[in-house]
């Protein structure tokens, strides 16, 4: 018999709230069985929750995490899942590199605006001649 987990077991083990686990269940990303009112999570659910948490840390959307979960093969042949994950990693890396470029550009623009403000303040105080004159 494979190992099962209660919602509190999973929450404690993966350092996530039970509310978050229920949310992921509502989104169709986890599929516990029921014993009365009690949720019983399988090893697959635990792996899925780990994928969700890892995906969130990497900046993936829940839809992207769900794609990865849907590709999971419990038999161990996860080549398609891994290839898809590598593609998501590359895409996320490209997004971050673009954000870095955008941040550097914004820093340059802030430097220019700051220098213009300081020059204008110096002129207003009469500390220097206005170079534009």
Q: Domain extents for the chain? A: 1-60, 71-128
Q: How far apart are CA 10 and CA 80, in angstroms?
A: 27
Q: 1-60: which CATH topology?
A: Multidrug-efflux Transporter Regulator; Chain: A; Domain 2 (1.10.1660)
| Residue in 58, 61, 65 with CA at minimum distance from that of residue 30 | 65
- Tens of pLDDT along 34-92? 999 999 999 989 989 999 999 999 999 999 999 988 888 878 888 999 999 999 999 99
pLDDT of residue 2: 79
Cβ–Cβ contacts within 10 Å for residue 44, how many?
Answer: 14
Q: How many CB atoms lie within 10 A of CB 32?
A: 19
From residue 114, alpha-carbon distances to 108, 117, 123, 133 in Å are: 10, 5, 14, 20
**pTM score:** 0.73
Burial class (CB within 10 angstroms; exposed 0-12, middle 13-18, buried 19+) of 116: exposed
Summarised one tens digit per residue, pLDDT across range 118-130 is: 999 999 998 875 5
């Amino acid at each position: 018999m494979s190992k099962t987990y209660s919602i509190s077991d999973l929450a404690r083990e993966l350092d996530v709230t039970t509310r978050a686990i229920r949310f992921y269940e509502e989104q169709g990303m986890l599929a516990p069985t029921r014993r009365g009112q009690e949720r019983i999570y399988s090893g697959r659910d635990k792996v899925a929750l780990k994928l969700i948490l890892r995906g969130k840390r990497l900046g993936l959307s829940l839809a992207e995490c769900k794609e990865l979960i849907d590709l999971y093969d419990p038999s161990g042949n996860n080549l398609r899942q891994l290839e898809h994950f590598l593609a998501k990693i590359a895409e996320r890396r490209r997004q971050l590199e673009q954000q870095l470029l955008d941040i550097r550009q914004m820093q340059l623009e802030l430097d220019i605006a700051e220098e213009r403000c300081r020059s204008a303040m110096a002129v207003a105080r009469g500390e220097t001649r206005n170079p534009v004159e």
